[in-house]
Structure 1
């Protein structure tokens, strides 16, 4: 414009000086829930591990006389776990709301999702511990301590090998991502992570009931 000796009208000067208009819009507002997706993991994981140990010791004291006795006992355990999971889901949401100051727009939805996660974790723990015993408790306890600091990081900040081979198989990832989808992206109860947790629960149930036919029970059967 200077080379062509063009004059600039006063009405156009501001548009030329600031050619880009920036408009900021908030998408998926977090409000006061910035770190809410990470506060559920530890209570749910530990709460799932403790009753698993108690039920395991109860099963060790049980003396069945037939496979059907073991199956009936395991069926009772699953019923207890289902009821306990519902209680844990709602109590955990109440705890986080009352003591940590989070206010969720749909607490029953979150509580039901946490109940599914609790059931999945307890059944997974029970299935593994039924086969290998107390060392399974150590494995899941160590998994919690080593995974906790990594789960709160963005996946892109983790080593590529961890992203490709380790992260996809962590069961607690479905809890993290499911809560995130519900809180920040308005996902419904049956989102992708809910189905993943149902699959985890199914795997745990299968291992739990298949243990009925393992060597440990053979000596007690008539």
Structure 2
């Protein structure tokens, strides 16, 4: 697995006595976007959480930039360069848009200076966030909250961005903005992306490859350039 930004080997995770992930092995090359697909309940969100550190691994290991991070808490993984946008966004409703974005700066740890400001490229990616920067998070629309959640993760300057269902419940024009933003962070900023997404036509437009899950296991993987979304959807019965 040399050359991978992130890899997992034999990864397992459970909720109490119920095992969710079984012997999961993935490999993410630097600067690529990978779609993690499958029906609801097959373990996709658990896998993202295990990588981000919000779920514990019961077996196996996770290697990021050559270092074993399996035992690290979530905040240390964030400081190491892993950004995470969970399903449901989880923004701070009583903080302003700008204050929410500033909380993301702390994820950079030693890589962010004491006088650091929210990077301008976040407002270039999502101009609406600058226009509503003084509005409280709880008063934002679903699309605005999703843009804010992604922007907050990007504020920590991650090298790996994990996204869980970023288009869920989002209006089409915002979906287009999110797609354009993800293309930019991969192609211009060189960021690696692992995205859980049910809307395959969306993710197929920019992802380089896919990993398909069933029953907590990886059951297929391939290139979006050589396999259509319809073909892969049939494989995993989405």
- TM (norm. structure 2) is 0.24
User: Which is helix-richer, 1 or 2?
Assistant: 1
User: Which is strand-richer, 1 or 2?
Assistant: 2
Larger Rg: 1
